[in-house]
Amino acid sequence: MSNLRGFSLVELLVAVVVAMVGTLAIFQTLSTNESYRRTTASGNDAIVGGGLGSHVVEHHVSWAGSGLTRIPGAWGCPLAISRAGVARLPSAAAFPIPFDRLGTALRLAPIIASDGGGAVPDQLVVMAGASGVAYAPIPVFGAPSAAALSLQSTLGVLQNDLLLAFDPDSPGAPCTIVQATSPVGAPTPPATVGAMANPIRIDGAMFTPSGGLAGYSAATMVTNLGADPRILAFGIGVDPATRLGPSLLVFDVLTGAAPAAIADNIVNLQVAYGIAADASSSVVANWVHPTGAWSYASLSDGSPGSADRIARLRALRLAVVARSTNFERTNVNGGAPLTLFADEPTLRMVLPLAGEDGNYRYKVSDTVVALRNTLLANN
């Protein structure tokens, strides 16, 4: 019995210390693994978000100019669009933030970009029809009116299709969108060789303005945009639905609906034009930022020079910058900035990562998109 004894105080203290060291090691390992997991997950989110945002913009840009490229002399004409009796273009009020810097009016172009200046994100407007058939402009038969117009052919025109009218005999006149309201039958076969009138009603439609096409001349050309054309603006801002951001947003100019988020944690969008040497060429001669003669203001001034420059647009290069959601404890970029368009000296941009910006990880999606509809128009 005298040989039985417990642990001494020293032994207990040693055991406690060993247990504490083991516990700390376990928690340190778990913390490190959790940090790696968050970094990996947020990095993957940035890759997915950047890829998704880039893909959506690329998809719409690839359709830019659909149904618009074959109207002689129409590039740069001011767009006049109404919806349910409310003017959409020009708009009575500024576009919603962040697209308010685009102003209240747009001119016809497959794409047009607004440079943010330096590292500030650019904004991009894309225009495209959606008819799928009969993209060649259709001459009118006699002067249109507020309620109707007669076309030399209604091939491919369906009820509720939107029609874009351009009057080359009225310099400065807007390109007006109207909507076919009456059922459109097959083109009328002429009794003798020559053109025949094929009347279409346009009054009372959601997208027909109150004056219709009154005042347009018999030289008016009409192109069918289909039932669901798009005029979309892309930019970076706060998602109005969640009040979170920055996000890649899209604004539907035709409907006027609030901007919607395409992808979250997109912090920058930069674009550049691929331009041809002249309007008849299909080859990209050089790349330019949307500044100077290629700025939003210059391409929107309605001059013959701006129309010629719009006709020379052949491709778009875009860089979408996604940021991880995980805020790292240290600067993981080593103070180095982000470099965009590094392979093209005339486009090369440096985006500084100052302060806490360096504690996030970034993914840049760099894409070149051909404006195939403008290319096809030249071939």
Q: What is the mean pLDDT of the chain?
A: 87
Residue 252, SS3 per DSSP: strand
- For 81-122, the pLDDT digits (tens) are 999 989 999 998 999 999 999 999 999 999 999 999 989 999
φ and ψ at residue 323, rounded to 5 degrees: -120, 140
Determine, yes or no, domain membership for 183: no
Determine, yes or no, domain membership for 95: no
Determine, yes or no, domain membership for 242: yes
Of residues 45 and 71, more confidently modeled:
71
Of residues 197 and 309, more confidently modeled:
309
Taken as a whole, the chain contains a residue count of 379
Cα within 13 Å of Cα(1), Cβ side: 0
Contact 95, 87 (CB under 8 A): no
Mean pLDDT confidence for 317-339: 87
Q: Domain range holding 335? A: 54-74+229-377
Q: Which of 84, 178, 182, 79 is nearest to 125 (CA)?
A: 79
Mean pLDDT confidence for 185-195: 50
- Name residue 128's amino acid: A
Asked if pLDDT for residue 305 goes beyond 90, the answer is yes
- Distance, in Å, from the CA atom of 205 to the CA atom of 207, rounded to the nearest integer, reads 6
Contact 55, 62 (CB under 8 A): no
Determine, yes or no, domain membership for 125: no
Cis preceding linkage at 187, omega within 30: no
Determine, yes or no, domain membership for 206: no
- Give me the percent of the chain exceeding a pLDDT of 70: 88
What pTM does this model have? 0.86
Residue 37 has a pLDDT of 56
The H-assigned helical ranges of the chain are: 9-62, 296-299, 304-311, 372-377
Q: Count structural domains, the chain.
A: 1
Strands (DSSP E) contained in 155-252 are 162-166, 175-179, 198-201, 221-226, 230-237, 247-252
Residue 193 has a pLDDT of 43
Contacts of 184 (CB under 8 A, 6+ apart): 154, 157, 158, 159, 161, 200
Residue 183 has a pLDDT of 63
Determine, yes or no, domain membership for 36: no
Mean pLDDT confidence for 317-337: 86
- For 277-289, the pLDDT digits (tens) are 999 999 999 999 9
Q: What is the DSSP letter of 294?
A: G
- Name residue 113's amino acid: A
Determine, yes or no, domain membership for 58: yes
The band of 39, judged by pLDDT with boundaries at 50, 70 and 90, is low
CA distances from 346 to 123, 282, 286, 287, 320 (A): 20, 21, 9, 7, 19
Asked if pLDDT for residue 72 goes beyond 90, the answer is no
Determine, yes or no, domain membership for 290: yes
Cis preceding linkage at 246, omega within 30: yes
